[in-house]
Amino acid sequence: MVRRAQPPLKAEPFASPLHDRRVAAWLGLALGVAFTICFVTGLISHLIQQPPSWFVWPARPAGLYRVTQGLHVATGIATVPLLLAKLWAVYPHLWTWPPVRSLAHAVERLSLVPLVAGSLFMLFSGVANITRWYPWKFSFTATHYWVAWITMGAIVAHVGAKASVTRDALRRRSREAREAPEAPARLPVAAEGLTRRGFLATTAAASGVLSLVTLGQTVRPLDRLGLLAPRRPKVGPQGLPVNKSAAGAKVLESARDPGYRLVVEGRVPNKLSFTLDQLRALPQHKATLPISCVEGWSSTADWSGVRVRDLLEMAGARPGVTVRVESLQAKGAYRSSKLNRLHAHDPDTLLALDLFDEPLHIDHGFPVRLIAPNRPGVLQTKWVHRLVVR
Amino acid sequence: MTAPPQPPAPREHGKLFWAGAAAGWAVMATGVVGLLSESAKTKPANAVRWVLGAAVAHDLLVAPAVILFGVLVARVVPAVARGIVQSALVVSAMVALFSYPFVRGFGRLASNPSILPRNYASGLAVVLAAIWAVAAAALAVRLRRTRVKRT
């Protein structure tokens, strides 16, 4: 018969079989994988938005960012039950007595503070952000990013501390299964409540339910199931969601100014200036590209407009230049964006004038917006009035 | 019930532990330095309050509340239904917790109706109803099996 390890306190207050090494080991393994996925995809998104000189994010495949960022948010959501279940499984250890046994034990326990606090913070702040709830004073992006490093460091330390225990707990299970194949999967406590296996299954079910009711924000066929999805891919002006409205960006007047000009300048021999009609008179190209938001929603749309590389050629720019795209929006972190050399010269990188064969809605960036393949939505600058070649 | 011979205690604080600790604390230090270097954005005093607050809220409020509620459920619910009810309660609680900012709609903006476009209170009700429908079906199957066994 299997006997579980005695919990460190008296058994009475923690009599549940779920405060268990093997449960903790399985959940720990799943959390390790999930947090690593979130960290890597988050790091990718960070590097795209604040690229160091060695990092050039490609323009192809066009839907790559949609996948990495969709994965980031979907994994984070699915991790919520994993983390809560894990904390439940190890909760008695919080009250271990004596609290510290040795220097190594002290180091190990100290790293649990950033581990537990950081993990909870990452998931809470992430979920709050996709619902655009900001009950704090700090900037979400910068703080979520740096606390991710702290949390990931704590995970590395924790893996070092727990690798052998985890290996042992998981290996022992399979050995027992081999030696006693007739042993019932259900423990005798089954009649009294959730078994260990039942608890893990319940946790997986909770992750599954949360995924099912949120994935519709990026996986179109699941839209109708997306009862708790923060966005619907077809809901918004012209059937496309909006992150920053024209009112929010305070461009309602400037974007409709009949004196509007698009200017191409910087390190080019010919400075260019176009009215909206002149832009429409240039060769127009179509592209079917997604808006892929950092918040995890995405939606594909049909765009048409002027190729950025055509404008660069007209201005006489040298091949391989980069371009800063500037908005009429006067303030805000996303009022301009940079096109690296790959994005600047991609045939699908457009200054779009039309969305689904109609002029852009002002909330989608009328008169002109940037749309390029494989790029976060916040870098698809709207209300564009200037390209600065560098 | 006899206890099986215990396997040798795993080495908890061997080389791997110290290697992990060194690497982990170095990565954590990177995060702390980064957080402080962008203090205009990260507002460290406020950020620390939310980070530690998350752990304190869980360890001193959420977990004890779950224990108390769990004891209550274990006393009130008959043994045959207990596992299923506990399972359904766990899933319901996690979904409800997740849905909180959706249902409250803190992020709604009059100028942008594409944010939080659904009725999340009724969405939550549908999800909870589905969870308990599955639980009821599982209970019905279990009751029928126990009855068949007895006869």
Cα A153 to Cα A220: distance, rounded to the nearest angstrom = 36
Q: Torsions phi, psi of A224, nearest 5?
A: -70, -25
Which amino acid, A214? T
**What is the dihedral angle through the alpha carbons of A91, A97, A101, A106, rounded to the nearest 10 degrees?**
40
Q: With CA atoms as reference, report the closest residue to B115 among A48, A322, A276, A243.
A: A243
**Are residues A204 and A260 both part of a single domain?**
no
Is the pLDDT at B2 greater than 60? The verdict is no
Smallest Cβ–Cβ distance between B42 and the set A142, A157, A159 belongs to A142
DSSP A15-29: --TTS-HHHHHHHHH
Query: How confident is the model over A4-11, as a mean pLDDT?
Result: 44
Cα A234 to Cα A301: distance, rounded to the nearest angstrom = 10
A147 to chain B: which residues are within 8 Å by CB?
31, 35, 47, 51
* Cis check: omega of the bond before A319, within 30 degrees of 0: no
DSSP A230-246: S--TT-SGGGS--SS-H
Which value does ipTM take for this structure? Answer: 0.92
Q: What is the CATH number of the domain that holds A245?
A: 3.90.420.10
Which of A225, A251, A283 is the endpoint of a domain? A225
Report the domain count for chain A: 2
Q: By residue range, what is the domain housing residue A111?
A: 12-225
**Are residues A46 and A99 both part of a single domain?**
yes
Angle at A251 between CA A250 and CA A253, to 5 degrees: 115
Cα A215 to Cα A224: distance, rounded to the nearest angstrom = 10
**Are residues A380 and A346 both part of a single domain?**
yes
Is the pLDDT at B7 greater than 70? The verdict is no
**Are residues A82 and A207 both part of a single domain?**
yes
Which of A175, A200, A225 is the endpoint of a domain? A225
**Nearest CA of chain B to the CA of A317: how many Å?**
36
Interchain contact B87–A (C-beta under 8 A)? yes
Residues 219-238 (A) with a CB less than 8 A from some CB of B: 226-232, 235-237
Q: What is the pLDDT of residue A289?
A: 98
Q: Note whether residue A28 is domain-resident.
A: yes
**Which residues on neighbouring strands pair with residue A301, listed in sequence order?**
A289
**Are residues A248 and A188 both part of a single domain?**
no
Structure tokens at A69: 């960022």
At A7, is the pLDDT very low, low, confident or very high (cuts 50, 70, 90)? very low
Q: What is the pLDDT of residue A187?
A: 39
**Are residues A61 and A147 both part of a single domain?**
yes
pLDDT tens figures, B32-50: 999 999 999 999 999 999 9
Collapsing DSSP to helix, strand or coil, B112 comes out as strand
Q: Note whether residue A3 is domain-resident.
A: no
Query: How confident is the model over A170-189, as a mean pLDDT?
Result: 54
B7 to chain A: which residues are within 8 Å by CB?
168, 172
Structure tokens at A16: 């549940």
At A232, is the pLDDT very low, low, confident or very high (cuts 50, 70, 90)? very high
Cα A21 to Cα A44: distance, rounded to the nearest angstrom = 34
Residue A147: CA count within 13 A, CB half-sphere: 33
Q: What is the CATH number of the domain that holds A168?
A: 1.20.950
Q: Note whether residue A297 is domain-resident.
A: yes
Q: What is the pLDDT of residue A73?
A: 98
Contacts A–B by Cβ distance under 8 A: 264
Query: How confident is the model over B46-67, as a mean pLDDT?
Result: 97
Cα A218 to Cα A256: distance, rounded to the nearest angstrom = 32
Interchain contact B115–A (C-beta under 8 A)? yes
Ramachandran class of A302: left when φ > 0, alpha when ψ lies in -120 to 50, beta otherwise: beta
Domain residue extents for chain B: 22-76, 78-108+117-151
Is the pLDDT at A260 greater than 70? The verdict is yes
**Are residues A51 and A180 both part of a single domain?**
yes
Residues 42-71 (B) with a CB less than 8 A from some CB of A: 42-43, 46-47, 50-52, 54-55, 58-59, 63, 66-67, 70
Which of A190, A225, A260 is the endpoint of a domain? A225
Q: What is the pLDDT of residue B12?
A: 62
